[in-house]
Amino acid sequence: MTPKDCEHIAHLLFLAYTGEASPDQQEELSRWLKEDKHHDDLYRTIMDHERIRSEQEVFLLFNQQRAWAKISQKTYRKSKILSTNFLRYAAVFICFICVSVYFLYPDKPEKKIEIAELFLEPISPKAILQNEQDVRISLPGQCYSIKDSTRHKKQLETSEILRIYVPKGGEFELVLADGTRVWMNSETELKFPRAFTGDKRQVELVSGEAYFDVRKDRTKPFIVRNKNLDLTVLGTQFNIQNYSDEHEIITTLVEGAVQLSSDKTILHPGEQATYNKATRETQVETVDTELFTAWREGRLIFKSTRLETVLKQLSRWYDVKFVYEEERLKDLIFSGKMKKYDNGNVILGILKATGKIDFIQQDSVIHVKRQ
């Protein structure tokens, strides 16, 4: 099947998807569907409206800078037309890609599909709990409550301090003894007591990223410690990003108030503090908190984000390694969003569709190169 044939079939499928196919086009498509079982399989894939809408949204957002540059030059009415046309183009593009995957390589269809799905598998809930005696327990499910769970009581009761580690490609939710909930991102380690005693509640974010929903207790402030910076709260919701391979600690406040130990800075809702580990300086700015907390709800959002930052997150979420053929590629800017639980090769495909970069896999490494 030639690229031109693919384009024609993609157009027919697109018209069928939007309900705009003429009787003759419907008849032609019907004949084509009866020719081969694979044709019918492809038709069912294309007619998965939720899937197409999801991929179409990602395609649009990763091209939003170019699209809005054009839209800004038009009147409101023309802007709506341009936006609609762009969405239609995105849908046609997705249909064309699907057709190409199925039919440009008719002799090896299974191999082609395998290559398309090769890159990144969806993340899953997983964590390892460890006590001071180095007893390690692989936690089941997606949430673990220290107070309510009795399953591992005998292994844990001899230890006052516990550690929980979420590996790459994983995420987990933990409920501490006081009812505070902690959502941990991939490659995150948290140290905490089996039970809070004394006049404060203290945990240590050894490394990684976590979202805290702290149970209010004015008599016992909640403290999040780490090697460089302590955060003190009474009852609030906030996100901390402190990966060992990053030069900054980023604290984003959603509700309540947080005080930083570095210079006694107090954050208010909607503010973000960036602490430089080298200079020990803190900068505070107002941000859209959703950009930094959406991961907890299973969404990935990038807004004018450097490619290096995007791929670092994908590396942790999907447990893969990216290698750049040119250092300058790290500074390319992208925007977009997707569902975190989707197969991650979708976002790589959209990044590639911008015409700026390409990805080549060699064993367990994905090489990033310029198109």
Q: 50 burial class (0-12, 13-18, 19+ CB within 10 angstroms)?
A: exposed
What's the rounded Cα separation, in Å, for the pair 193 and 59? Answer: 45
Geometric angle at alpha carbon 26, from 21 and 32, rounded to 5°: 130
Is the separation of the CB atoms in 166 and 186 below 8 Å?
A: yes
pLDDT of residue 326: 92
What's the rounded Cα separation, in Å, for the pair 351 and 356? Answer: 8
pLDDT of residue 263: 79
What's the rounded Cα separation, in Å, for the pair 30 and 365? Answer: 43
| Structure tokens that stand for 79 in this block | 């802007």
How do the residues of the chain divide into helix, strand and coil, expressed in percent and rounded to 5? 35, 30, 30
DSSP annotation of 122 reads: P
Please state whether 219 falls in left (phi above 0), alpha (psi between -120 and 50) or beta.
alpha
Handedness of CA 11, 17, 21, 27 (dihedral sign): positive
Amino acid at position 364, single letter: S
Angle between helices 307-318 and 345-353 (to 10 degrees): 160
What's the rounded Cα separation, in Å, for the pair 136 and 198? Answer: 27
pLDDT of residue 268: 93
What's the rounded Cα separation, in Å, for the pair 292 and 96? Answer: 34
Name beta bridge partners: 125: 171
pLDDT of residue 70: 41
- For the chain (371 residues), the mean pLDDT of every run of 10, in chain order, is 65 75 85 79 66 51 43 41 47 49 43 38 83 84 78 64 91 93 95 90 95 92 91 91 92 94 88 93 93 88 89 87 92 82 72 84 84 83
What's the rounded Cα separation, in Å, for the pair 189 and 94? Answer: 39
Please, which contacts does 143-150 make with residues 24 or more away whose CB atoms are closer than 8 Å?
A: 143/172, 143/173, 143/174, 143/175, 144/172, 144/173, 144/174, 144/175, 145/174, 145/175, 146/174, 146/175, 146/176, 146/177, 146/192, 146/194, 147/175, 147/176, 147/177, 147/179, 148/175
Distances from the Cα of 175 to the Cα of 87, 110, 147, 268, angstroms: 42, 44, 8, 25
Amino acid at position 113, single letter: I
What's the rounded Cα separation, in Å, for the pair 286 and 312? Answer: 24
3-state class (DSSP) for residue 282: strand
3-state class (DSSP) for residue 177: coil
CA nearest 122: which of 54, 171, 61?
Answer: 171
DSSP notation for 262-276: TT--EE-TTEEEEEE
| Structure tokens that stand for 61 in this block | 């957002």
Distances from the Cα of 134 to the Cα of 128, 130, 190, 226, angstroms: 11, 6, 15, 21
What's the residue count for the chain? 371
3-state class (DSSP) for residue 334: strand
pLDDT of residue 190: 96
pLDDT of residue 120: 61
